[in-house]
Amino acid sequence: MSLLELVQYATLVVLVLDAVGVGTLIVLKAVNRRRRLATERRKREYMRLISRHVAFEYCTDPIPADAARDPAFIDAIIDFRNVLAGSELANLERLISRHGVVRRLIKDLSSPWKVKRLRAAMALAEIGGDETVDVLLAHLDDREPEIRVQAARGLGRIGWTPAIDEIVSRFGRVSPWVRARFADTLIGFGADATWPLVAYVMVNHRHETAGPVAAIRTLAAIGDAQAVKPLMDVLETATDTEVTIAALDALGSLGHPMAAPVMRTAATNPDWRIRAKVVTALGQVGDVGALEVLATALTDESWWVRRNAAAALGAVPGGLDRLYEAVAGDDRFASDAAMEALVDIGELTAARMRMEGGIAAPRDLALISHVEAHA
């Protein structure tokens, strides 16, 4: 075959592919548009029917027998499930049971089709009841990460506390995305998740980073004071910088004064990231005993430590005096950081107003002149 013949054949093939492509595009656009419109229409109709059924327990308007197979019906049910309460919710649950929706979704979870499985997992997470617990627990190890996420979400929505240990035990061996979503679920469980998370952190924080760090952040978001003491232990024994930072962050946001002495000991850590976090956390706790530590941190070599220390002083009782002292002091870096914090918390505006009112104190004038000189 000559080169020319080859080109001729290739051209003909490409032109045929072009024709097929044009045809496919036209058909696909028409079909997709029609499908979208049809789904919207069906959903509207289901919404109408469901609204009657939830309003009147003995409503006889017929809902198609195979409605549970239709994603539009499931979508409509989820929309109602999220807004109803009381007798209307009971009516909706009867409707779900009568049409075998949950049974259908559980069956779909075993489908070979990924889309079907994903849709079923998400719907179960929204409308599943106690009867779905075993299925959801089993799918915490599903091969599809998103199905694992939905399984945990469903268990969280049902409030099945035995699932907490199951979710926590998987913290270290799932992807960051799944871990973040598991954390959301655990936060939803609230204080019930505190001890399983604490146990997980205590056992693992010396061997791994990602799992314990996520667990500590989750503890901080739950906000249970029972976690303070264990986190103090973690702070004292941690060897990993990320774990230390997470523990400081959590202790700061938990805000318990009991943690302050342990946190203060970390203020001399050689790692500036830890020092920067310590001063922020001390400010969050509002530890009066930390005034000296924070004032010293104003002269730290790291910009972030100075800035965070100044911000923390703005939040600690008695800290404002230290900031004004630093503004008037000789250390230019400390002075700048203190000035920034004072401006940020509105002291500059207040000082100007006092000056206009003729009641400005010397330190107000010092702050104003310092800011003007700096500008």
Specify the residue, 217 or 277, whose C-beta has the smaller distance to another protein: 217
Q: How far is the CB of 87 from another protein (least distance, A)?
A: 28
- Binding residue for another protein, selected from 250, 294, 337, 360, defined by CB under 8 A: 337
Q: Concatenate the DSSP letters of all residues of 159-207 into one string.
A: T-TTHHHHHHHTGGGS-HHHHHHHHHHHHHHGGGGHHHHHHHHHHHTTT
199 vs 210, beta carbon nearer another protein = 210
Query: Rounded distance, CA 284 to CA 343, Å?
Result: 19
Distance CA 371, CA 336 (A): 9
Question: Which residue type, as a one-letter code, is found at position 92?
Answer: L
Give the distance, in angstroms, between the CA of residue 49 and the centroid of all CA atoms in the same chain: 36
Alpha carbon 100 to chain centroid, angstroms: 34
Q: Give the residue, chosen from 47, 84, 133, 187, that forms a contact with another protein under the rule CB under 8 A.
A: 187
Looking at the chain, the number of H-run helices and the number of E-run strands are: 21, 0
Q: Are 264 and 282 in contact (CB under 8 A)?
A: yes
Q: Report the residue number, 5 or 130, with the smaller CB distance to another protein.
A: 5
CB of 140 to another protein, least distance (A): 16
Q: Tell me the closest approach of the beta carbon of residue 304 to another protein, in angstroms.
A: 9
Helical axes 362-374 vs 347-356, angle rounded to 10°: 120
Within positions 280 to 309, which residues make up the interface with another protein, using CB under 8 A? Answer: 303
**25 is an interface residue for another protein by CB under 8 A:** yes
First to last CA, the chain: 81
How large is the angle between the packed helices 71-81 and 114-127, nearest 10 degrees?
20
Give the footprint of another protein on residues 122-181 (CB under 8 A): 122, 146, 149-150, 153, 175-177, 180-181
Among 8, 97, 111, 265, binds another protein (CB under 8 A): 8
DSSP-derived 3-state class of residue 345 = coil
Which of 63, 77 has the CB closer to another protein? Answer: 77
Residue 286 in tokens: 């509002």
Q: In angstroms, what is the minimal distance from the CB of 181 to another protein?
A: 6
Q: Which two tokens stand for residue 247?
A: 């523990």
Q: Binder to another protein among 18, 134, 236, 331 (CB under 8 A)?
A: 18
Angle (CA) 62-63-68 rounded to 5° is 160
Q: Candidates 31-39, 128-136, 155-163, 285-293 — which segment interacts with another protein by CB under 8 A? A: 31-39
**168: closest CA among 145, 127, 156?**
156
Interaction of residue 362 with another protein, rule CB under 8 A: no
Among residues 84, 118, 199, 366, the one that binds another protein under rule CB under 8 A: 118
Shortest gap between Cβ of 329 and another protein (angstroms)? 15
Cβ–Cβ under 8 Å, residues 233 and 239: no
- Is there binding between residue 365 and another protein (CB under 8 A)? no
Residues of this chain that interact with another protein (CB under 8 A) are: 3-4, 7-8, 10-11, 14-15, 17-18, 21-22, 24-26, 28-30, 32-33, 36, 114-115, 118-119, 121-122, 146, 149-150, 153, 175-177, 180-181, 183-184, 187, 210, 214, 217-218, 221, 303, 336-337, 339-340, 343-344, 348-349, 371-372, 374-375
